[in-house]
Homo-oligomer: A and B are copies of this chain.
Amino acid sequence: MPDTIQFVLEIDKLKGVLRKVRPIWEERYENTAEHSWQIALFAMSMARTLELKIDVTRVVAMLLVHDLGEIDAGDKFVFAQGGWEERKAAELKALERICGLAPKKTGDFLLGLWKEFDAGESDEARFAKAIDRCMPVLLNLNKKGGSWLEHGVSYERVVERVGPEIESGCLELWEYLKPQLEAGRRKGFFAASTS
């Protein structure tokens, strides 16, 4: 029990990890803790709406832990070029440290969720990844381009980077997003293509 409390106090640090996206109604960047809450509830609601035949409990659980590694490794902008293998190793090390604070059976359970999400092989992990990728797209579309314009990200880069994961994990979501992204392109929500 005290070990589990130590774990809960340690994860408090995720409230201080800033992402590159801003909440719709705030000027500040969002942090990874509030992002994790939003996508967990997003996934739970969307799975219910689409009547998906997957284990939603595991999806939600994965989304609650999927970014814990950022406590040690910081946020990495999804549109960054390269460095992703080193990044994965750093996150795994962080997860082992943080989950290691909890009793072994609890820590192993949490680490297992992170590994399943990271592997992205189960239907649950692919749906969870689709939701995770989709959320900042929705926020940016509702911020007239938001972090895409702020950080020089083109329409092509967004479609190439997040499209396959969203399409693979939740086809309906990608079918919904595609015309929204095209409309955003016409409205000037993206940086010019660098290619």
* Among A12, A16, A176: residue with most chain B CB under 10 A: A12
Output the residue of A49, A56, A103, A176 with the most chain B CB within 10 A: A49
* A25-55 contacts to B (CB < 8 Å): 25-26, 30-31, 33-34, 36-38, 40-42, 44-46, 48-50
Interface of A is mostly: helix
Contact status B30-A15, CB under 8 Å: yes
B49 touches A4 (CB 8 A): yes
Contacts of A5 in B (CB 8 A): 138, 176
Find A16's partner among B14, B25, B46, B142 (CB 8 Å cutoff): B25
- Select A38's contact among B11, B45, B139, B142, beta carbons within 8 Å: B11
Stretch of A57-65, A78-86, A151-159 contacting B (4+ beta carbons < 8 Å): A57-65
Residues of B near A31 (CB, < 8 A) are: 34
**Residue A166 lies at the interface, judged by CB distance under 8 Å to chain B:** no
